[in-house]
């Protein structure tokens, strides 16, 4: 379904991704793990088409020299030259780290913003109902400004907003970051439900190894922009060098 080959991303002289490659098959939940600064977020942003967006935003700044090399294919088609909205239309949705809501918009309007590429009112309403069933807290808070939500509620909102477009593939970036254990456990169940019951393919970037390994079928381990290893949780944990050096276990 998704294949990234030898992806290199540089911001000026800083190389963030250095030949990263991965594959995600339809119907998989694949973990992308590694320490902070490994390049996980940058790879998800590259898949979602945001590196091209960075080039425009950073024009005229010290970091304006943004370089992308390699290729990214989705369902057999090259997408790395496409703008982010076109990639979203093909069924890829990025769920960003820390939620990043539109703070001065209500929860409901944030969710509706996730469906901005859809012009079918019935489909939008059905998606909204589905999100509220998955996250009842969002229904309770639907008229509340998103900027006043707790960290856990913001992450629920980010996941819900990503679901509004009925994605084929969700790129979920560090969903457990900064969350209390009880909220993290609830979010774990919701991600699992999206995968198992809604049938959405997921690429999950996580620094919390236990969170990712409990959900994923396969995993990639990243460090300093490189893919160090891949395999099931059992295979990776059985390798002492990988476990101690790259997983911190």
**Residue-number span of the structural domain to which 132 is assigned:** 2-246
**Above 90 in pLDDT, residue 222?**
yes
pLDDT, tens digit, for every residue of 53-103? 888 788 888 778 999 999 999 999 999 999 999 999 999 999 988 768 899
Q: How many domains, in total, are found in the chain?
A: 1
Amino acid 178: pLDDT: 80
| 151-188: pLDDT as tens digits | 889 999 999 999 998 999 999 999 888 888 888 888 88
Token pair of 35 as six digits:
């320490």
pLDDT, residue 240, reads 87
For the chain, state the CA radius of gyration: 18
Longest pairwise C-alpha distance within the chain: 53
Q: By percentage, how much of the chain surpasses pLDDT 90? A: 70
Note the pTM of the prediction, 2 decimals: 0.91
> In DSSP terms, which residues pair with 92 in a beta bridge?
169
Can you give the CATH number for the domain in which 85 is found? Answer: 3.40.50.300
- The pLDDT assigned to 249 comes to 66
Encode pLDDT of 103-158 as tens digits: 999 999 999 998 887 788 899 999 999 999 999 999 999 999 999 999 889 999 99
CA distances from 172 to 11, 69, 159, 164 (A): 23, 23, 8, 14
Contacts of 225 (CB under 8 A, 6+ apart): 9, 15, 16, 17, 18, 19, 20, 38, 39, 42
Whether 246 has a pLDDT exceeding 80, the answer reads: no
Instruction: Indicate whether 242 pLDDT > 90.
Output: no
b/e map 184-204, b = 16+ CB within 10 Å: bebbbebbeebbeeeebbbbb
- Quick one: pLDDT band at residue 247, thresholds 50, 70, 90? confident
Separation of alpha carbons 180 and 152, rounded Å:
8
């Amino acid at each position: 379904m998704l294949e990234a080959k030898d992806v290199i991303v540089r911001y000026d002289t800083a190389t963030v991704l250095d030949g990263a490659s991965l594959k995600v098959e339809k119907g998989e939940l694949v973990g992308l793990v590694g320490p902070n600064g490994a390049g996980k977020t940058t790879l998800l942003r590259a898949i979602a088409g945001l590196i091209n967006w960075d080039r425009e935003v950073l024009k005229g700044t010290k970091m304006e020299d943004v370089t992308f090399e390699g290729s990214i294919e989705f369902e057999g088609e090259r997408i790395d030259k496409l703008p982010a909205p076109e990639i979203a239309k093909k069924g890829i949705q990025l769920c960003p780290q820390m939620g990043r809501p539109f703070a001065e918009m209500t929860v409901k309007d944030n969710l509706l913003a996730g469906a901005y590429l859809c012009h079918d009112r019935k489909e939008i309403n059905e998606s909204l109902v589905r999100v509220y069933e998955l996250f009842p807290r969002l229904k309770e808070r639907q008229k509340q400004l998103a900027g006043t939500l707790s960290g856990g509620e913001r992450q629920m909102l980010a996941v819900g907003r990503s679901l509004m477009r009925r994605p084929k593939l969700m790129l979920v970036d560090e969903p457990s970051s900064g969350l209390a254990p009880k909220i993290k456990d609830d979010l774990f169940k919701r991600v699992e439900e999206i995968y198992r019951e809604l049938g959405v393919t997921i690429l999950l970037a996580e620094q919390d190894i236990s969170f990712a390994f409990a959900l994923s079928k396969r995993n990639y381990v990243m460090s300093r922009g490189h893919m160090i290893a891949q395999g099931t949780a059992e295979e990776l944990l059985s390798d002492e060098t990988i476990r101690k050096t790259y997983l911190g276990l």
